[in-house]
Structure formats: C-alpha cells, structure tokens
Amino acid sequence: MLSVHTSPLEQAGTGDAGGMNVYIMHTAVEMARRGISVEVFTRATTSEQPPVAELAPGVLVRHIPAGPFEPLGREELPAQLCQFTSGVLRTEAFHEPGYYDMIHSHYWLSGQVGWLARDRWGVPLVHTAHTLAKVKNAALADGDKPEPRTRVFGEEQVVAEADCLVANTAVEARQLVGLYHADPHTVHTVEPGVDLERFTPGSQRAAREKLGLPSDAIVLAFAGRIQPLKAPDVLLRAAARLLERKPELARRLVVLVVGGPSGTGLEQPQALRQLACTLGIEGQTRFLPPQGGPMLAEVFRAADVVAVPSYNESFGLVALEAQACGTPVVAAEVGGLPVAVAHGVSGLLVPSHSADDWASALGSVALRPDRRAELAENAVHHARRFSWERTTSALLDTYAAAFHSFRDVVRTEVAV
C-alpha cells in the first residue's frame, strides 16, 4: 500500500490524518489476519522514525525519506515524489523479482508513485482516491482555496493508468466515470467500515463524567479536522441560532469540538475559537484535541447529536462511528453521507449549510428525547451493516479482478 502524505500510525483528526489513515490501518490489519502480508509505504516526517515499524503482526510501515524531515503541506509534496518513488523502488530491489504481488495506492499523490512502480514491477495497480479535486472544487466553503490544477491533472493520469479504481460509494463511482472519464468496468464500489468492537453503545452519564460534562447537558458534538471543508463553523452558527430561539438553553447547551487545525485551517488556527466569541457562545463551547479510539467513542456516547456539516465527504467515517455508539447524526446531504446516514432512520440529512436549517435539524433531535431515542436505536442497527471485515472482503474481490484484468492486458500485449 502507498500512502505518501499521511501514515496509518498517525492520530486521526489533525494535520492530514483523517479517515484515510483509519481506512488503511483497518484494512491492512484485517488482510494480515487472513494471511496476507502488507507493507505500507509513507513519507518520513521526522528523523526519529524507524525505517520500518510494525503496525500489527503481518503489517509493516516503511518510512521513506523524501524531502526534509518535517511535515509538508500537500501542495509541497509533488516536488518530493521522485525521491519517494526512488525509495520505494530501491526497497523492492533488495528482494527477489516478484516480491510484491499488488499495489494499492491511496490518494492521487500515491497513485503517481504506484503508476510508475506498477510498470517497473509488472503487477496490478488498484487506486482509491478518497477525495477528488473536481468534486471538492465544485463545493467549496466560503473563503476556502480550490484544489490546484496540478492535482486535477495528476488525478486524471492515475484514473487513466490504474487497473482498478475503488470508490467509496456509488456516487463517487459515477463521479469517476462522469468527471474523470474512467472506464466503468474498472470502477468497483467498496464501502468503508467501522470498528464494531471499539465503537459500541455505552452509558451517556459515564462518558460525560470522563469528559467533565454535566449529566443534564444538551451536547452537540463535532469530531474531525478543523478546516473550512469540514465546516465546524456551521455547528457553531447553528448553536447560536438555537440559543436565539430558546434562550433558556444557555445553561445546559454544550458545543463540543474535537480535533485540530488542518489544511487551510492552519492559516487561522484560532478562527473557530474567535467565531465562538463573536457569536456569544464561548461559554457553551468546549474544545478538545484529537482523541484516540477509546476516548473518541466516549465523545460520541456523551453527545446527544453528532454533527457532520462537511461541504464534501467521500464517505464520512465519523458519522458511522457515532451511530455505532448509539448516537444520532445530523449530516450535510453531500457525497457519501447519504449512505453513511439513513435519513429519518438513524439521523437526519440537511440539504443546505444555513444556520437556520441546521438549528432546526439539531433541535428536532437533541430537544426531543423520544425522537432521539428512536434514532439512537436505529443508528446502532444501521452501523452494524458496515464492518472492516466486509470492506476487506470486497477489496480482496477487487484485487482478484485487477489480477485478471492485468493478466489479460499482458497476454494481449505479448500476442501483439
């Protein structure tokens, strides 16, 4: 597996670490459980990282030096792809030919490396985009920067060269075909999963005690990277609007924001705190750094509603994790979120990002205990439809299809 810009060893929720890290970690570990050895190549970001680290039995993470030993913005990484590719090819050269059977690249930067390695090693390339520049640029938050043309061209190249493309949802599959002219026969839809052993229902009161929250609070939670794309400001504006409508909630309302600055959010890391002050809800807003799996589950259990107001999501793992904990989700009706959230069953989908619409949706769940209880029960059942075991099985089927497709191409070329 290739993951140039972020490592599965990193804590999701800050920097460039997010759902993709979780996806790679869980699918790699599940493959290893089934007897498949996995090596994940990622860029070294500090000199203290070992050249090779074991993520789990059968899963190695290789840190490849490429550029300075420090985190780099995604816009800086294309200049390091030559050195990264050299490190990947050099690693393979120490083994007998045919050591690697398959390449699975994650995100377009990795796809560029995978394309070259595929041609050198003579093995199939499976690619997962995770996000698409053309889709993101069509749904930018106010003031956010569009993805550069370099990325658009790079994605088009990878789509044209990959033997198989993995889309998170049928919507993304259609986007690959319609916007990037992918061959429909190469596109396979594989829905991500959720760790159903870690994210489980639990005591809301106990979770609130661990987080220092009042037992009688009305808790609206956001978990994710703090950047315009993820739109945590929408939650704050909606909370302020909810207080305008019902001033008596001021004593009980808690807006819990969990995550760290990322992407263009790094340019103004205090912007969200300043917005809370401007809206007059600084007393109701609490900020926590990114939380590891066990504590993240407690965050979800503590909440009455988890908000996912993103402008674009290829799937939305946070929405699935929250529902697995028995917490309803109010999410934007974008990207893969209509798959992750069953509207009116496990949560609500909001077709806009207006404060009024979001205040109404959040209030209709958080302020109606009977409605919330119904959605919570359904949320657990909905989330159980997804698992990393299911995702991994579908990925292995895709790998088999890639093998057959690749062999057919090779036979045709040899015949010609």
pLDDT tens profile 146-175: 999 999 999 999 999 999 999 999 999 999
By residue count, the chain amounts to 416
User: What would the pLDDT profile of 348-401 be if each residue is shown by its tens digit?
Assistant: 999 999 999 999 999 999 999 999 999 999 999 999 999 999 999 999 999 999
Helix (H) or strand (E) holding 62, with range, is strand 59-64
Indicate whether 263 pLDDT > 60. Answer: no
Q: Is 19 annotated as a binding residue?
A: yes
**Cα-Cα-Cα-Cα dihedral of 365, 257, 201, 249, to 10°?**
-40
Q: Is 20 annotated as a binding residue?
A: yes
User: What would the pLDDT profile of 311-353 be if each residue is shown by its tens digit?
Assistant: 989 888 999 999 999 999 999 999 999 999 999 999 999 999 9
Q: Is 107 annotated as a binding residue?
A: yes
Q: Is 151 annotated as a binding residue?
A: yes
Q: Is 180 annotated as a binding residue?
A: no
Q: Is 301 annotated as a binding residue?
A: yes
Q: Is 100 annotated as a binding residue?
A: no
Q: Are 104 and 39 in contact (CB under 8 A)?
A: no
Q: Is 225 annotated as a binding residue?
A: yes
Amino acid symbol at 227: Q
Evaluate if pTM is beyond 0.95. Answer: no
**What integer pLDDT is reported at residue 268 of this predicted model?**
57
Q: Is 122 annotated as a binding residue?
A: no
User: What would the pLDDT profile of 16-70 be if each residue is shown by its tens digit?
Assistant: 667 899 999 999 999 999 999 999 999 999 999 999 999 999 999 999 999 998 8
Q: What is the CATH number of domain 2-193+388-415?
A: 3.40.50.2000
Partner residues linked to 343 by β-bridges: 347
Q: Is 378 annotated as a binding residue?
A: no
Q: How far apart, in whole angstroms, are the C-alpha atoms of residue 43 and residue 14? A: 17
Domain boundaries, the chain: 2-193+388-415, 204-384
End-to-end CA distance of the chain: 32
Indicate whether 3 pLDDT > 60. Answer: yes
Q: How far apart, in whole angstroms, are the C-alpha atoms of residue 390 and residue 401? A: 17
Range 80-102 average pLDDT: 95
Q: Is 11 annotated as a binding residue?
A: no
Query: Is there a common fold for 2-193+388-415 and 204-384?
Result: yes
Q: Is 282 annotated as a binding residue?
A: no
Q: Is 5 annotated as a binding residue?
A: yes
Q: What is the CATH number of domain 204-384?
A: 3.40.50.2000
Q: How far apart, in whole angstroms, are the C-alpha atoms of residue 343 and residue 351? A: 11
Q: Is 114 annotated as a binding residue?
A: no
Q: Are 361 and 306 in contact (CB under 8 A)?
A: no
Indicate whether 299 pLDDT > 70. Answer: yes
